[in-house]
Amino acid sequence: MKMLSEIKGLNELKKLKTDYQNFIKTRYEPNAQDCQTCPTKGACCVDAHFVNVHITKLEAAAIGGTLGKLSAEKQAEIYRRAAETVEKYNLKCSGDTFAQTFACPLFEKGVGCLVHFEGKPAPCISHACYENKEDLPPEFLQEENENKIERLNKRTYGKYWTWLPVPVWLSLINPFKEYK
C-alpha cells in the first residue's frame, strides 16, 4: 500500500467529498426540502436523539483545517462546545460509540454548518429532509463513500483509526486544550 502525506490525504479527501456532495446535490437533493426554507433550521443537526455522526482521523484533520480559518476566539469557542458536548452526552472513545447520540457542535444558529463547504462528514452530505422514502439516497452510496474514506485514512496514517463521534474527535485534536 502506497502511503500518503497528511496534506496529500487531505487533498484526496476533499476531492472525494466534493464529488460525493455534487452527486448527492444533483441526483437526490432536488427531491428534498431546501434547508433555507425549513421552519426549524438545524433541527436535524442539533437533535440529540438523532445525531450520531462518526468520522475518521483524516476527516477530523479536515474539519480542524476548516476551523483553522476562523479567528482564534471563534475556534476556541467551537472546541469548547465540542468538549461540553462530550461531557454532556457522556461520549466515549470505546464501546458501542454508534449508539451514542449528541447535538452537533459544528452547527451554529443563524449560520448553519460551520464546515458545510469544507470538511462536512459523509452522513451529513447524504442527509436532507425528504418527504418520500423512495427519494432518499440509497444507504450503499454513503457506505461506499465511507469505505473510500477509510482506505484513504489508512493510506494516510498507516493503520486502522477508530471512527468516533464528531465531538470526540474534535476534543482529541483541540489545539486549545490545556494539558495538565
- pLDDT reported for residue 34: 80
Are the CB atoms for 80 and 156 separated by under 8 Å?
no
Summarize pLDDT for 108-160 with one digit per residue, the tens: 988 888 998 888 999 999 988 888 889 999 999 999 999 999 999 999 998 76
Which residues pair with residue 129 across a beta bridge?
A: 33
- pLDDT reported for residue 180: 46
**CA-based nearest residue to 20, from 176, 152, 114:** 152
For residue 10, the 8-state DSSP code is H
Torsion of CA 161, 163, 167, 169, to 10 degrees: 10
Which residues pair with residue 164 across a beta bridge?
A: 55
Summarize pLDDT for 26-65 with one digit per residue, the tens: 999 999 888 777 777 777 888 888 889 999 999 999 999 9
* Mean pLDDT along residues 99-108: 91
- pLDDT reported for residue 81: 95
